Chains A and B, each alone.
Chain A
Amino acid sequence: MQTGQSAEVQLEARDLTIGYPNRVICGPINLQLAPGAGLGIIGANGSGKSTLIRTILGHLIPVEGTVEFQSLPVNESSEHFRRTVAVQVTDGAFFEELTVREHLEMVARGHGLDDWVQLVQAELDFFEITAADDHLPGELSSGQRRKLLLAAALIRPAELLILDEPEQRLDLRIRQKLYQRLAGVRAKGTTLLAVTHDPLMLRSCVDQVLLLDEDEGELLDPQAGAQWLER
């Protein structure tokens, strides 16, 4: 399958079988995402959605097949990959001594953004966590922690944005704001890959949906994907 605005390939998975050495979860999957493409990944619990994300990120070795980012094998420790791929995967990745504002500042400065003061404030305002800007991660609610992770993924420039169930613990208003923003991010050429259980997200900001329901993935349009989630 190929999705996106042009024929150029941002992310490509060829005959990708995912799982663990003794247990195949899903595959083979063939995938081509062009710049600006938006792919939602859906499926039942345990169908391999997060495993697929972790394999694409290079955290897991594919059982078979290959994953390439911008025509190069994925190397998550390289500077190029870290500068161009923004990720929000788990809940617990924080520096426990840094405040909310300092987390965002570190990410912005790490990516060499000169106007980081304004950008940090904009993210705090967007996710409505300005009042908690001097809180430590341990003092945040689970929803605020999720907002901080999303803000950290969105404050930085990225060519590929990978999100794992970004809708979790967010209220409907923030979700709508987030989806609008993700659509805008895509319009600027960033490829979006998101695992979700939210039909609204599929209808708002992706143009294709990968359903991991059977052994192999099935490609659906967003409407059909949303209906599958609502069934």
Chain B
Amino acid sequence: MIRRQGRSGLSASRVASHAVDFNPREVVNRAKKRRNFSEKFDSFSDAYVWVLAALVALAYLFSALFGMLFVLLGEGVAHQVLPSAVWRLQDLSFVLLALAGLATFRLMLYLGPCGLSAAKADWWLPLPVKLRAIRQPTWRNALLIGLFASSFAGALWLIVMLGLAGSLPVPVAVHGLACFAVAGVGLANAATAIQGKNQQIAARGICGWVGLGLLIALAVLWMLLMFQIPWAQSLVGAMAAATLDPAAWMLALLVVLVLSGASTYGAFRHFDQIPGQALRFAGEHQQFAVGTLMQGDSRGLSAPATSAISRRRARGGKLTAKLPVAWRILCLRLLRGGRWHSVAGFLLLAFALAATVQRIANPLSAAAFYLVLCLVLTLSISATIAPLVSERQLTQLLGISEQRLMRAATLYAMLFSATALLFLTGGLGMLGMIQLDRIWLWIAAGLVAALGCAAASSAHASREERDWDALLGGATSESAVATYLFLETATFLRAAATFSPIFFLVLSPGTPIPLLLWIAAMLFGASALVQVSGRKLGAGA
């Protein structure tokens, strides 16, 4: 104690007088002043990079969305005329609007919307100052995030409308984009006010119910159209027409402005009541989201919530009791982690689109569904098997060799992929989108595709988390980043290549599949066979 005092050179009386002079506001002001030009320039350049990234993403998404619409509507390809296909894709654009608003609101609730990073929270929250000085900049950031997120969604929606309608009146584009921007601010403010009242969990629950309500409303509307109820037909027609009507957008802009003003007033009244704990949690979510973006890796984002696993803790216990250890772990992760939801959700979406929307029941769409399933399967399965193929201490406990665990994981991946492919093929076959008369070829093609998904899943799961900070800061960053991206792309391309016999059967049902194509597809999926046979492959395989 004495030694420490001597070292610091402070006597007890000097320490006491220093404590009396301590003014927390001064500390805050001094810290603010220390944000010199360089730091401000850094903030500006960060914002500049994000805006630039958004513009580049929009440019790429423009092509991607046009491509997707081209494929879904099967331009130049004969499509099945299904009695259940009662509306056009354009009729559903209204639903996209509602979904965009809901997604932006959920995003703002998830991100806080006011959040402090963990480092800032540790420093600022314990200070005996009014938290308004801390909350004000976070509120401003929340408004900016809401504005940009909603505008981005709006730009995407307008691109889709341009693709569907062929042209877009300028007033619609301008008013539409303004409407999205104002709505973004309004939604961010609404989320802020909700956070101020500490009701964000309830609000998230309500969002879920609203989404469900939207689905039910769609189902009811679809049934009414099936029975050709005149008022339902005119309602759908009017809604579709309104999406391209400048007057409707002007009215919407006025309504959104009023609502946004009201929510801004609410947020202004409540934002300084946001508890420090909520600021901290929101900050953690914000960091998590940015980290996921920086990692370019959906593994963290798609991880099931602890509360969801907790609810399902008893699921599958008895059902899997007799299974071998590795299989039991995989099945419990599948059931309790809900890791089948993304695949099932995609299959339902594909069937719903194909069955209810005109022109989507065509071979091009079918091929696109298989391609997307390949990606969804790879990501979903890799999340399930990851601990068994990459966490050494965890698997060390089990006393099972790496090869045996890898074999179990690969077999599981093949089985899961084959099941999902069976459902998709069966469903599309029932809708008449694909011809299943050459059933043995379909079975063989499905097995090869399952091999490809298994190989890609285990390669993706074996790949460790990437430290993008280190990569970008390294002297050889470009080549290192390029290597990682190349590995990821190669993994998915190889998986997609194993689907080539399926694509052939979908797009050219009567033509014999060249032997070379079978051999190439088999080669791309061969690493899964090697793993099943018990031989070891490198992580990048």
* B328 contacts A82, C-beta separation under 8 Å: no
- Report B386-406 residues with CB < 8 Å from chain A CB: 387, 391-404
- Partner pick for A76 among B306, B313, B387, B396, CB 8 A cutoff: B396
Chain B residue contacts of A139, Cβ below 8 A? 310
Smallest distance from the beta carbon of B313 to chain A beta carbons, Å?
A: 6
* Interface pair B399/A111, CB less than 8 Å apart: yes
Kindly supply a per-residue 1/0 record for chain A positions 89-111, scoring 1 wherever the CB is within 8 Å of any chain B CB and 0 otherwise: 11001111111001000110111
**Which interface residue of B387, B391, B395, B397 has the most chain A CB atoms within 10 A?**
B397
B214: Cβ under 8 A from any A Cβ: no
Selected interface stretch from B57-65, B331-339, B525-533: B331-339
Docked pose: A95 CA to B387 CA in angstroms: 8
CB under 8 Å from chain B, chain A span 42-81: 57, 59, 76-79
Give CA–CA (A107, B397) in the complex, Å. Answer: 6
Contact with A79, one of B387, B394, B397, B400 (Cβ below 8 angstroms): B400
The answer to whether A82 touches B399, judged by C-beta atoms less than 8 angstroms apart, is yes
Interface residues on B, range: 20 to 34
Q: Mark B401-420, 1 if CB is under 8 A from A, else 0.
A: 11110000000000000000
Judge whether B397 and A152 touch: CB under 8 Å: yes
Q: Report whether A106 and B393 are in contact in the complex, using a CB–CB cutoff of 8 Å.
A: no
Min CB gap A139→B, angstroms: 7
Contact B336 A97 (CB under 8 A): yes
Within 8 A of B (CB), among A101-143: 102, 106-107, 109-111, 134, 136, 138-139
Selected from B306, B313, B402, the residue in CB contact (under 8 A) with A134 is B313
Secondary structure call for the A interface = loop
Partner of A82, one of B309, B325, B387, B398: B398
Q: Give the nearest-CB partner of A85 in chain B.
A: B396
- Assess whether A153 is in contact with B397, with CB atoms less than 8 Å apart: yes
Does B329 lie at the interface of the complex (its beta carbon under 8 Å from any beta carbon of A)?
A: yes
A89 to B391, CA, bound (A): 12
Residues of B within 8 A of A134 (CB): 313
Of A77, A106, A138, which is within 8 A of B328 by CB? A106
B residues less than 8 Å from A110 (CB atoms)? 325, 397-400
List residues of chain B with CB within 8 A of the CB of A76. 392, 396
B394 touching A93, Cβ below 8 Å: yes
Q: Is B398 in contact with A97, judged by CB distance below 8 angstroms?
A: no
Scan residues 282-302 of chain B and give those whose CB is less than 8 A from a CB of chain A: none
CB of B396 within 8 A of CB of A106, answer: no
Q: Given the complex of chains A and B, what is the CA–CA distance between A57 and B393 in angstroms?
A: 10
Contact B309 A95 (CB under 8 A): no
Q: B325: nearest residue on chain A (CB-CB)? A: A110
Choose among B337, B402, B404, B536 the residue that contacts A97 (Cβ–Cβ < 8 A).
Answer: B337
Please tell me the size bucket of the interface on A: 20 to 34
Q: A147 to nearest B CB, angstroms?
A: 14
Per the bound structure, the CA–CA distance linking A90 and B392 in Å amounts to 11
Do A97 and B333 have beta carbons less than 8 Å apart? yes
Contacts of A94 in B (CB 8 A): 394
Q: Which chain B residues lie closer than 8 Å to A86 at the CB level? A: 397
Q: Are B399 and A156 in contact (CB under 8 A)?
A: yes
The residues of A that contact B309 with a CB separation of less than 8 Å are: 96-97, 136, 138
Q: How far is the CB of B117 from chain A (nearest CB, A)?
A: 22
Min CB–CB distance B322 → chain A (angstroms): 11
Q: How far is the CA of A32 from the CA of B336 in the complex (A)?
A: 45
* A83 located at the interface, meaning its Cβ lies under 8 Å from any Cβ of chain B in the complex: yes
Smallest CB gap from B388: residue in A: A95
Given contacts A79-B404, A98-B329, contact A87 B397 (CB under 8 A): yes
Q: A79-B404, A138-B306 are in contact. Are A107 and B391 (CB under 8 A)?
A: no
Nearest-neighbour CB distance to chain A for B508, whole angstroms, equals: 43
Q: How far is the CB of A135 from chain B (nearest CB, A)?
A: 9
**What is the bound-complex CA distance between A96 and B317, given in angstroms?**
14
Flag if B392 contacts A59 (CB, 8 Å).
yes
Name the residue on B nearest A113 (C-beta): B399
Query: Distance in Å from the Cβ of B534 to the closest Cβ of chain A?
Result: 11
Of B313, B395, B398, which is within 8 A of A99 by CB?
B313
When C-beta atoms are compared, the residue in chain B nearest to A79 turns out to be B401
Chain A residues, Cβ within 8 Å of B328 = 106
> In the assembled complex, how far is the CB of residue A48 from the closest CB belonging to chain B, in whole angstroms?
19
Name which residue of chain A comes closest to B324, CB basis.
A109
Cα distance, A76 to B395, chains bound together (Å): 10
Contact A83–B399 (Cβ < 8 Å): yes
What is the chain A residue whose CB lies nearest that of B321? A105
B398 touches A95 (CB 8 A): no
User: In the complex, how many angstroms separate the beta carbon of A97 from the nearest chain B beta carbon?
Assistant: 4
Complex A-B: 18 CB contacts under 8 Å: A59-B392, A76-B396, A79-B400, A82-B396, A82-B401, A86-B397, A87-B397, A89-B393, A94-B394, A95-B387, A96-B309, A102-B317, A106-B328, A106-B397, A110-B325, A111-B399, A138-B306, A156-B397
Known contacts A79-B404, A138-B310, A156-B399; 6 further A-B pairs (Cβ under 8 A): A77-B392, A93-B397, A106-B325, A110-B400, A136-B309, A138-B309
